[in-house]
Amino acid sequence: MNVDRRTFLRGAACAPLALSLGRGGAWLPGGDERCLLVLELVGGNDGLNTVIPVDDADYARLRPKLGAVRRGARALGDGTSLHPSLARLHGHIAAGRGAVVHGVGYAPPDRSHFRSRDIWHVGDPAHQQVGATTTGWLGRAAEQLVAAAGGAGNGLPAAAIGGLEVPLLLHSRRVPVPSLVRVEDFQWLSPGARGPIAADAPSRHVVGAGGAGELLAAVRAAQTAGVELADGLTAALQRYTPKADYPDDDLGRHLQLIARLLVAGVGTRLLHTSFGGFDTHARQLPTHAGLLRQLDAGLGALLDDLAGHGCLDRVGVLVHSEFGRRAAENASQGSDHGAAGPVFVFGGGVQGGTFGQKPDLSRLVDGDVPPTCDFRRVYAELLGRLGVPVEPVLGEGFEPIGLW
């Protein structure tokens, strides 16, 4: 059967097996557990204009117009500099709370956004067809966390923040993963009286109802988990007061919701959110600078907020994109789909600075910076930090980089 992942059942995340939600507020207290946020820059962030190889003689030649970002860029100490929009994140790196890993990707590169995102999400460049049973690397990590907890108790080990779709990387065959947009949305409302449906309301009879079949079972699992979520989340989130000012945009709101979940310690340990618009084929400079400014403000606030609550030490943040962009700028003052790019890792205890081989623009492969670090090595590093065994999630042979 020819399966196209674009419209395929993506519901492995809601699959019915072993729906092991605790009853009656059995949320893990959290508190000392390590957590991971994956912040995905969607569209193919221009790595060479984010972590800029300012010392590379070929940079100016390849990017006569886009190279203007060098002015005001902040040095990272290895001949590369951070885009001028990223002042706050540069501060976190300089203070030893953030790392840059150069040249992360996979070979050979795939220049389709969709295919390359799938590869990053599944965690396997050889994986061909995404289908109903395809799982994502973070979804598999969630399975490991639930298994380690004895398969019970934790209401919400993983969550997708900011959209209603659960992205592929959080798909699991065994753990239901919700998506969240605003905390206020998560009461289960009654059609009669104002306010939520009471714990003893007759409508509760329909929770878990319905006929046989895989699809109905998946819907039923989503319903059961949704009601569970509504009942438990609101109370848990009361425990948070912000310690940083978040920007008034979608990314800022999503990151603040993430902070609320992390600070409240609802037991949610794996999170994903995405931030789009990085497909800068034309007139890139102002667009890209604006996007990075938003990223800097939002992520900077999150890191400060978590630090203010004393929980940055247990949080790791990975910032990546599905690919970098071609080394040479295009003729539309933009850049086209490329291959490897830098990733950022933030968090307490991380070794600050830059890791891996910085891009060498005299040694391009097919016009691209080739990958010098397999993306799964970064994943392995993060899984190790979480205490999740690497092999069941990624397979064998991915040496950590030594960020911690």
Partner 1 sequence: MNPLAPYEPSARDPFDLRKCGHLLRRAGFGASLPERQRLVREGLAAALQHVAPPLAEVPAADALLNEAIAFGSIERVRAFRVWLALQNTHPLRERLSYFWHGHFATSNSKVQDPRAMALMMATFDRLGTGRFDELLTAMLRDPALLRWLDNDVNTSKQPNENLAREVFELFALGRGNYSERDIKEAARALTGWHVRDGQFFRAGYLHDDGDKEVLGVRGKLDGDDVAAIAAARPESARFLAERWLRFFVHPQPERDEIDALAGAYEQHGRDVGATLRVLLGSRLFFSARAYRSKIKSPADFVIGSVRLIGGRAQPTALVAAMATLGETWLEPPSVEGWHGELAWLSPAAWLLRSNFVADLLAGRRGKLAPRAAELLRGYTRPDHLARAASLFCCDGDLSADASERLLEVARAAQGDRAATVLHAATCLPEYQLL
Of 206, 238, 357, 399, which lies in the binding site for partner 1, with binding defined by CB under 8 A?
206
HSE-up (13 A, CA, CB side) for residue 202: 2
Convert residues 329-358 into a mask of x (bound to partner 1 by CB under 8 A) and - (unbound): -xxx-x-x----------------------
Six token digits for residue 270 = 């794996």
> Which region, judged by CB under 8 A, interacts with partner 1, from 51-59, 73-81, 111-119, 309-317?
111-119
Residues 41-70 that bind partner 1 (CB under 8 A): 42
What b/e sequence results for 251-274 when a residue is b if at least 16 CB atoms lie within 10 Å of its CB, and e otherwise?
A: bbbbbbbbbbbbbbbbbbbbbbbb
Contacts within 8 Å (CB) and 24+ apart, 292-297: 292/50, 292/83, 292/85, 292/86, 293/85, 294/247, 294/249, 294/251, 294/252, 295/41, 295/85, 295/86, 295/89, 295/251, 295/319, 296/85, 296/86, 296/87, 296/88, 296/89, 297/88, 297/246, 297/247, 297/252
Of 185, 199, 248, 402, which lies in the binding site for partner 1, with binding defined by CB under 8 A?
185
What is the CB neighbour count within 10 angstroms for residue 390?
22
Helices (H) and strands (E) in the chain, counts: 9, 12
235 lies in the binding site for partner 1 (CB under 8 A): no
228 lies in the binding site for partner 1 (CB under 8 A): yes
227 lies in the binding site for partner 1 (CB under 8 A): yes
| Smaller CB separation from partner 1, 31 or 202 | 202
Of 60, 95, 148, 193, which lies in the binding site for partner 1, with binding defined by CB under 8 A?
193
| Smaller CB separation from partner 1, 138 or 312 | 138
Residues 112-151 that bind partner 1 (CB under 8 A): 112-115, 132
Convert residues 276-295 into a mask of x (bound to partner 1 by CB under 8 A) and - (unbound): xx---xx-------------
Residues 292-331 that bind partner 1 (CB under 8 A): 330-331
210 lies in the binding site for partner 1 (CB under 8 A): yes
